[in-house]
Amino acid sequence: MNDGVLIAKNLFRKKLRAILMIVSILIAFAIFGVLAAFERAFNAGQEVSEDDRLVVVNKINFTQPLPISYFNRIAAVPGVRQVTYANWFGGYYQDPKNFTIVMAVEPATYLDITASDFAYDGAMRERFERTRTGALVGRQLAAKWGWKVGDRIPISSSIFQQKDGSHSWEVEIVGVFDKNKPQVDTNFMLIRWDYFDETRSFGKDTIGWLILKTDSPAINDRVSETIDKMFENSFYETATDTEKAFNKAFMAQLGNVALIVTLVVGAAFVTILMIVGNTMVMAVRERTREIAVLKTLGFSGARVLRLVLGETLLLALIGGGIGIAIAAAITASMRDSLSTFVPNLEVGPGIVLSAVGLMVALGLATGLVPAWNAFRLKIADGMGRG
């Protein structure tokens, strides 16, 4: 009988107790997995943002407009390699409840600047530039409504209105695109800004924000300063920031997600640490005589210590493994229904890795006291007790 078998037999000698401990561990890890997935999804915007991409918004707030003339003026700033602009459309499909992310963009440059995130092929690019009422739709959004290339669909706005009083714009789907990075979602639609601007009843010749690429991240600060300086004291002052800082500040507005996750996961782990730690102390104490026998048979103190630690480690890995699997299943089931608000919800490799780390830490922490007791146990005491 090798040590592994001995460890497993020890763990499951009282099945109910072992199962209860596994249940409490798996719950803690399921909570950890789900919450960590949420936190990661919330911060995905920072991860995918590229170092050389800057965002220019109205200094008053990013919901305030900027004039379209800024496009050419910013394009002329030294160090700006490429620039594009977009306007939030406030879209929904058929019913206001079906909130849909729609942006009105400048067709050629917008696709260029976001080409590292999304796979637009040459054909759809060409059709989008040619078709004034054209729309490009992400794979996920297209799948949600069963849209395909060539469909003409009405897309409504909760903010804007057409000159004829209607809130709905008819667009023709000219392409369905996929993503290039795992962290992004394709749950949105792009329509053409020129078509949108010409038909809307107010806000003509304004845009929501500009995105630009600099020649190198090293000159980001200089470029943003130049731009903001250029428009200082004008009616439309600008605030230029890296895409990463912009996304980070936006997520911070929702509240401190990271803090909530840490507190709840912390509470769950303190709970199981107490429960499993105590139970293991009891389990080892019950076995005092047995451990004395093992030592009599020539098992060294270190080996006994390893046996007990092995047992708590095995327990943590079984419980944690099942817990993470459950978390993956839960996030997978929520993913589609939440993708408009929390894109790309998943238990990724990074989360699994930190979970394994936590399992090892938990296994060692809960086994420490009982293992130490077993290590120190004197044979005569052990035989006498129990």
Query: β-pairing, 168-179 with 152-157?
Result: antiparallel
Residues 6+ apart with CB under 8 A from 249: 241
278 binds another protein (CB under 8 A): yes
Contact 44, 291 (CB under 8 A): no
Q: Tokens 């002329």 appear where?
A: 76
218 by Cβ neighbours in 10 Å (0-12 / 13-18 / 19+) ranks as exposed
Contact between 127 and another protein per CB under 8 A: no
Q: Out of 31, 48, 184, 211, which residue is the one contacting another protein (CB under 8 A)?
A: 31
Site membership for another protein, residue 100 (CB under 8 A): no
Task: Decide the pairing of beta strands 134-138 and 168-179.
Answer: parallel
Distance of closest approach, residue 261 Cβ to another protein, in angstroms: 11
With CB under 8 A as the contact rule, the residue among 272, 308, 316, 358 that binds another protein is 272
How far apart are CB 15 and another protein at their closest, in Å? Answer: 12
Select from 45-53, 55-63, 72-80, 142-150 the region that touches another protein (CB under 8 A). 55-63
Query: Which ranges of the chain does DSSP label H, i.e. alpha helix?
Result: 3-11, 15-42, 44-48, 70-75, 107-113, 122-130, 139-145, 193-199, 220-230, 243-252, 257-286, 288-296, 301-338, 349-376, 379-384
Cα(first)–Cα(last) distance of the chain, in Å?
25
Asked whether position 332 contacts another protein by CB under 8 A, the answer is no
Interaction of residue 159 with another protein, rule CB under 8 A: yes
CB-count burial class (<10 Å; 0-12, 13-18, 19+) for 255: exposed
The interface region with another protein, picked from 123-131, 134-142, 266-274, 299-307 by CB under 8 A, is: 266-274
Residue 64 interacts with another protein (CB under 8 A): yes or no: yes
DSSP 80: E
| DSSP summary character for residue 208 | S
Residue among 153, 219, 281, 383 that touches another protein (CB under 8 A): 281
Other Cβ atoms less than 10 A from the Cβ of 333: the count is 10
Q: Which of 12, 147, 236, 299 binds another protein (CB under 8 A)?
A: 236
Selected from 17, 132, 289, 303, the binder of another protein by CB under 8 A is: 17
Whether residue 332 contacts residue 344, with contact meaning beta carbons closer than 8 Å, is answered with no
Nearer to another protein, 37 or 80 (CB): 37
Phi, psi of 91 (to 5 degrees): -80, 155
CA–centroid distance for 13 within its chain:
41
Token duo for residue 107 = 């067709």
**Which part of the chain contacts another protein (CB under 8 A), choosing from 100-108, 279-287, 303-311, 375-383?**
279-287
Question: According to CB under 8 A, which residues from 340 to 379 bind another protein?
Answer: none
Which is nearer to another protein, 120 or 160 (by Cβ)?
A: 160
Tokens of 153: 């669909």
Quick one: which of 103, 191, 268, 304 contacts another protein (CB under 8 A)? 268
β-strands 118-119, 188-192 pairing: unpaired
Measured from the CB atom, is 283 or 308 closer to another protein?
283
What is the nearest approach in angstroms of another protein to the Cβ of residue 365?
14
The answer to whether residue 277 forms part of the interface with another protein (CB under 8 A) is yes
Q: Is 156 in the site for another protein (CB under 8 A)?
A: yes
Using rule CB under 8 A, residue 218 touches another protein: no
Rule CB under 8 A: say whether 72 interacts with another protein: no
CB of 195 to another protein, least distance (A): 20
Does residue 183 interact with another protein by CB under 8 A? no
As measured in angstroms, the least distance from the Cβ of 89 to another protein is 11
Residue 158 engages another protein in binding (rule: CB under 8 A): yes
Backbone angles phi, psi at 300, to 5 degrees: -75, 165
d(CA 313, CA 309): 6
Site membership for another protein, residue 233 (CB under 8 A) = yes
Give me the residues that bind another protein (CB under 8 A), please: 16-17, 20-21, 23-24, 27-28, 30-31, 59-61, 63-64, 90, 96, 156, 158-159, 161, 167, 202, 233-237, 239, 248-249, 252-256, 264, 267-268, 270-272, 274-275, 277-279, 281-282
